[in-house]
Amino acid sequence: MVNSGLSSGPNGLCKHTTTQPSSIEEEGFRYGRAQGYIDAMTDKTLIPASPSEDDYVRQVAGAEALPQLPEDDPFALFNAWLTEALGKEPNDANAMSLATVDADGLPDVRMVLLKEADARGFVFYTNVESAKGRELAANPKAALLFHWKSLRRQVRVRGAVSPVSPEEADAYWATRARPAQLGAWASSQSRPLPDRLAFEKKIAEFGLKFGLGKVPRPPHWSGFRVAPQAIEFWRDRPFRLHERLVFSRGESGAWTTHRLFP
């Protein structure tokens, strides 16, 4: 049997060695594979390296002492975090990823904007004939994720989904800028678009249709509310020893809390 291993080679790199190399060609092939792996692992890439221990030590030294996350009211905590994010994030602090599943059970995710949050749930608006609208009609459950990089915090939400009332949709629709209202009429969201010009022509057509008058809400445009069954608050801590607090809602509507290992 041929014994093999890695030994130190030129410039401190490792090369493959064997006690009984079968041929010069084979030895060169093995060295080339090892060298290629090393080059791939040491070459600079777009993905940042993991923080070093010194990086974490500096982070600890500069960090303020934080009390444990409060366990009394998940919506009060969410509102406090969102308020802070609105002052720190460069844009769209109310952006959240919305995950649904299609007819084959394949997950689908996209970014949407939170428009309301209270004890009833988290609300967003969309074309109900879009991919997410069709998926929610078939399987009215969803997950949300808020990620505030400036604060190093996340909030995860999972729960059942239901349509908002027509009155709620009308009230929000009235706050949208007129060009956005015309765009909602013109967009066959999630369906094939021949080219950008076709979309712009439809916008112009609806602009002419409604003239200077009020633009009504389209019948295919409304909102959904995600009623949370669970809300998890995640806060970054040094050495990846993060803090995770989960609120779970029971059948009675009461919240219970538990903490998770990071």
Give the CATH number, domain containing residue 214. Answer: 2.30.110.10
For residue 51, pLDDT over 50 is answered with yes
Provide the residue range defining the domain that includes 235: 73-259
> 25 and 144 share a domain?
no
> 77 and 137 share a domain?
yes
Distance CA 57, CA 52 (A): 9
Query: Confidence class of residue 162 from pLDDT cuts 50, 70 and 90?
Result: very high
* 239, amino acid identity: F
Cα Rg of the chain, angstroms: 27
> 83 and 28 share a domain?
no
Residue whose token pair is 């908002």: 164
Q: Hey, is 236 helix, strand or coil?
A: coil
Q: Using CB atoms within 10 Å of the CB of residue 2, give its burial: 0 to 12 exposed, 13 to 18 middle, 19+ buried.
A: exposed
Q: What is the average per-residue pLDDT within 98-111?
A: 97
Point out the residues that are catalytic. Answer: 240
> 153 and 206 share a domain?
yes
Query: Confidence class of residue 25 from pLDDT cuts 50, 70 and 90?
Result: low
For residue 255, pLDDT over 70 is answered with yes
Q: Give me the number of domains the chain comprises.
A: 2
Beta strands in 103-194 (DSSP E): 107-113, 116-118, 121-127, 141-148, 153-163
For residue 46, pLDDT over 70 is answered with yes
